[in-house]
Amino acid sequence: MVANNTGPNIQQEKATVSTMIYLYCHKRHHVPNNHLCDECNDLLKYAMQRLTFCRFGEDKTTCERCPKHCYRKDYKQKIKQVMRFSGPRMMIYHPIMALKHLYKNLTKK
């Protein structure tokens, strides 16, 4: 059974992941701000699909604390790379979004 995946928590998670992928692509692949290279665009589509069909829905934790990792092995490596790079930089470029994500990571089990 798929939970309700159109609520504000899933939308916030999608916005955070999207922002991280855009930041990564802009800084690492030197793509203009509002564009993505093919590889990053593919990762973004995959991540949005995974969030849309997340079994936990609005009760979803951050991916880091999720008990059931749903990414395929190859995409899992890519998203880890993006998060390692973009995570610390989010405090500079998107501090409110980063703080919300950190708070969610600390409070949701």
- With cut-offs at 50, 70 and 90, classify the pLDDT of residue 4: low
- The pLDDT assigned to 108 comes to 67
Tens-digit pLDDT profile for residues 8-63: 989 999 999 999 999 999 999 998 878 999 999 999 999 999 999 998 888 888 87
Rounded CA gap, 50 and 92, in Å? Answer: 27
Q: Is 6 helix (H, G, I), strand (E, B) or coil?
A: coil
Q: What is the model's pLDDT at position 1? A: 44
- Provide the pLDDT for residue 45: 98
What is the spatial distance between Cα 30 and Cα 63, in angstroms, rounded to a whole number? 26
Better pLDDT: 64 or 23? 23
| pLDDT score, position 86 | 96
What pLDDT sits at residue 50? 94
Tally of helices (H runs) and strands (E runs) in the chain: 4, 0
